[in-house]
Amino acid sequence: MMTIPLVDLRAEYELLRSELEAATSRVLASGWYILGQEVAAFEEEFAGYLGVAHAVGVASGTDAVLLACRALEIGPGDEVITVSHTAVATVTAIELSGARPVFVDIDPVTYTMDVSQVEAAITSRTKAVMPVHLYGRPAEMDTLLALARQHNLFVIEDCAQAHGARYKGKRVGMLGDAAAFSFYPTKNLGAVGDGGAVVTNNPAVADRLKMLRQYGWQQRYISDIAGYNSRLDELQAALLRVKLRHLDSFNADRRHLAERYLQQLAQLPLILPTAEPDCEPVFHLFVIQTEQRDGLRTYLAEQGIGTAVHYPVPVHRQPAYHRLGYEVGSLPVTEGVCGQILSLPMHPHLSEAEVEKVSQAVRDWVVKHKG
């Protein structure tokens, strides 16, 4: 059992216990559990928080990407440019829409889409570009948005790890044509099960999303288009409303803890996250790089410190996606970082003393393995 886990969901529950249990009781007593007042209220509050016109709750982050594609009428014969260094859900959802994912490499510093490679990947079949705001850090959006306008492409933001992050003063999610969020429990804004949302400023897209999430209905039992069963339930919405009120505070805690890590690890031969003045990351994960990653990870586990690798095998090199035709070496930065990245414990309820213990363990390991 880890004495310092990678994440600690119980700590958040204990902190918010009275609010969460009151919300749960409210929903159970209402007798209405699917697409009711809680979902409507959460959608309005989440849209207001992000600064967008519409938010549509769905069943998961994967469904959020899928329904965003479908709402923008992306499907068979179309291509969506994205990255391979992401959770496989990004690519799964693109394929579920019927479109083909096309990969470009990542920037070696930010781990997000290398926008300089996007134009060369555009073909007559390209319909959208999907940047991933990975680890809570915004992708480079200005260049990407200008390129999309030039080529008449949609931009769909994958914000699954970036709730509350800002790019040049604007929240991620309000920058593209649509954006997908996940509320998986470990996210910065997490439910107690699966959940997701698509946000947009386009009312027609929002209307189509609401139809798609429930069988294509505009009126009950009449399907005007082929849809899905992908609904955010009332209980999750009520709990998310509670957590949304604390999101900015928790994100500030994450940034403070990240600063402590950066101070503690600054003199070590590691590649650390970097900050840019025009971005406000939310440190969903705190990811370092070392060529001796596996040895460090084993040592930290022996000290009772939890870690993870996000992600050990890029999507294009996973068995299910060999059929896409990407050879070894086709995305060199992506393939290079996957063998070196390591996520250290990061959550808003981590103490400074725990950050110091993790950092000291990393220092100890580095001293033992110099040269």
pLDDT band at 1 (very low <50, low <70, confident <90, very high): low
DSSP character string of 124-141: TTEEEE--B-GGG----H
Residue with tokens 């918010």: 16
Domains and CATH numbers, the chain: 9-103+111-244 (3.40.640.10), 247-368 (3.90.1150.10)
- The per-residue pLDDT for range 250-267, each reduced to its tens digit, is 999 999 999 999 999 999
For 265-333, the DSSP string reads HTTSSSB-----TTEE---SSEEEE-TTHHHHHHHHHHTTB--B-S-SS-GGGSGGGGGG-PPTTSSHH
Question: Which two structure tokens, joined as six digits, stand for 66?
Answer: 């899928």
How far is CA 131 from its chain centroid?
11
| Angstrom distance (rounded) from CA 282 to CA 138 | 9
pLDDT digits 0-9 by tens, 261-299: 999 999 999 999 997 888 999 999 999 999 999 999 999
pLDDT, one tens digit per residue, over 85-111 is: 999 999 999 999 999 999 999 999 999
Residues 6+ apart with CB under 8 A from 342: 287, 288, 289, 290, 293, 296, 297, 307, 308, 309
For residue range 302-348, list pLDDT tens digits in order: 999 999 999 999 999 999 999 999 999 999 999 999 999 999 999 99
Give the per-residue pLDDT at 371.
52
Buried b (16+ CB within 10 A) or exposed e, 181-202: bbbbeebbbbbbebbbbbbbeb
pTM score: 0.97
